[in-house]
């Protein structure tokens, strides 16, 4: 077993990087003075992983929504399910499936070793039968239909379908009623054995913990191996062009809602951290509550405080997104595009750059006080071959010149999509 201390002297922070004999990577950041602990057991397997790599280098297609379905089923066992086991220890447990990962987690203020044992145990021991799979198909089918009436969810996937031709991002994380009907118990075991091999997983822990306790529990409970190694995802052939500039749907909402997206076509499936941080800075300068754009849109009553923005990026996809409620979404689109063009022509000033740089750096520092955020960042960073301090190191390399060069490449009109949800007619 190899145990390394990873330090950042400037931040005065340290965590342990443990290469467990099973093949599992374990990352532990003890935080003195904290009363609670947080742990996440994560696999590099999400809704976009609709292809299982085969030994001969080919890929086998699996139904959309399988990753989410498997997450639901993994909590079950022949005896107590995992939630019931955690309830007895007083821990708060949960799980989630995103586009590119699945995480199983708990937070607690006591019984840490017992809770970690439960987490490692139930994730390692799947229990699927065709009968329970068929029961779950009905439950998740209802969930899928329910989300079709959730405006925030529907507006996002309408946007992705208008933005992407082939990428699995087009499909709801839970899949469709048709796709989950194809899932069988044998198929779940096949996916589990491929994506839940310990070489494709990471255990990240932060808070009131000791590394010795973590290693003791891991040595005792882990009974699998990571012979499969890290999964190589299939790169989808996605054209740089969008499908359509506009998409619209009517739902039961009190006011029109919109999401404006700008598709990006960076050549590498994984966005460099420096670029991601720089786009976040650009968006803060252009659209934060202290910006001229935000003030102007509020003064014209085109937006309210639901207005938001983000740089949405993952394996093989990236887009700048703006969203919120508006009486006139097309007018908001025009205002945003005009403001972006103004910054392209005039450039971001050194003063704007320095103010935003300090603000966002302070926000990153604050994140090191949140054990949930620390553990999740450690896990996600591992899948990108980085560490939790990489953001801070890359942030130092960003210059105002780099921001202005990047501004010429992003948020281009030809790659824009406006997704709108309108109220149902009276």
Give the catalytic positions in this structure.
Answer: 71
Alpha-carbon distance of 403 to 267, in angstroms, equals 19
> Residue 99 gets which letter from DSSP?
S
Alpha-carbon distance of 201 to 23, in angstroms, equals 9
Burial class (CB in 10 A: 0-12, 13-18, 19+), 316: buried
- Other CB atoms within 10 A of residue 232 CB: 9
- DSSP-assigned letters across all residues of 278-298: HHHHHHHHHHSTTSHHHHHHH
For the packed helices 329-346 and 273-287, what is the interaxial angle rounded to 10 degrees? 110
Alpha-carbon distance of 106 to 262, in angstroms, equals 36
Q: Give the residues across from 232 on adjacent strands.
A: none
Q: Across the chain, how many H-helices and E-strands are there?
A: 15, 14
Contact (Cβ atoms closer than 8 angstroms) between residue 48 and residue 98: no
CA-closest candidate to residue 117, choices 189, 39, 194: 39
Contact (Cβ atoms closer than 8 angstroms) between residue 246 and residue 65: no
Task: Give the three-class secondary structure for 222.
Answer: coil
Rounded to 5 degrees, what angle do the CA atoms 286, 155, 162 make? Answer: 85
Residue 369, CA distances (Å) to 30, 206, 288, 363, 418 in order: 12, 10, 24, 10, 37
Task: Give the three-class secondary structure for 369.
Answer: coil
CA-closest candidate to residue 309, choices 410, 205, 192: 410
């Amino acid at each position: 077993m190899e145990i390394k201390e990873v330090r950042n002297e400037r931040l005065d922070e340290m965590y342990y990087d443990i290469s467990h004999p099973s093949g599992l990577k374990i990352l532990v950041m003890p935080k003195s003075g904290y009363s609670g602990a947080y742990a996440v057991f994560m696999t590099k397997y999400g809704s976009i992983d609709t292809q299982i790599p085969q030994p001969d280098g080919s890929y086998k297609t699996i139904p959309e929504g399988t990753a989410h379905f498997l997450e639901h089923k993994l909590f079950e066992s022949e005896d107590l399910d995992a939630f019931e086991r955690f309830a007895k220890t007083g821990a708060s447990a949960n799980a989630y499936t995103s586009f590119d990962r699945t995480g199983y987690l708990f937070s607690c203020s006591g019984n840490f070793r017992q809770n970690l044992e439960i987490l490692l145990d139930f994730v390692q021991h799947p229990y699927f039968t065709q009968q329970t799979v068929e029961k779950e198909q009905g439950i998740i089918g209802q969930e899928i239909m329910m989300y079709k009436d959730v405006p925030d969810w529907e507006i996002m996937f309408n946007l992705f379908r208008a933005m992407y031709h082939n990428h699995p991002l087009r499909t709801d994380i839970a899949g469709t009623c048709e796709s989950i009907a194809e899932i069988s118990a044998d198929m779940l075991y096949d996916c589990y054995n491929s994506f839940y091999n310990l070489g494709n997983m990471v255990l990240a822990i932060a808070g009131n913990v000791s590394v010795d306790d973590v290693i003791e529990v891991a040595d005792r409970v882990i009974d699998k191996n990571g012979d499969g190694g890290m999964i190589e995802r299939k790169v989808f052939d996605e054209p740089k062009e969008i499908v359509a500039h506009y998409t619209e749907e009517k739902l039961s909402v009190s006011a029109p809602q919109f999401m404006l997206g700008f598709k990006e076509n960076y050549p590498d499936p994984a966005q460099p951290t420096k670029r991601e941080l720089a786009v976040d800075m650009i968006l803060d300068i252009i659209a934060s509550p202290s910006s001229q754009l935000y003030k102007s849109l509020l003064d014209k009553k085109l937006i309210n405080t639901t207005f938001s923005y983000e740089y949405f990026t993952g394996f093989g996809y990236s887009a700048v997104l703006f969203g919120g409620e508006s009486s006139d979404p097309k007018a908001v689109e025009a205002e945003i595009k005009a403001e972006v063009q103004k910054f392209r022509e005039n450039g971001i000033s050194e003063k704007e750059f320095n103010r935003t740089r300090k603000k966002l750096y302070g926000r990153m520092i604050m994140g090191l006080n949140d054990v949930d955020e620390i553990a999740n960042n450690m896990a996600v960073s591992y899948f990108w071959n980085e560490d939790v301090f990489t953001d801070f190191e890359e942030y130092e390399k960003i210059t105002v010149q780099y921001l202005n060069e990047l501004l010429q490449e992003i948020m281009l009109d030809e790659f824009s999509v406006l997704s709108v949800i309108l109220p149902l007619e009276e």
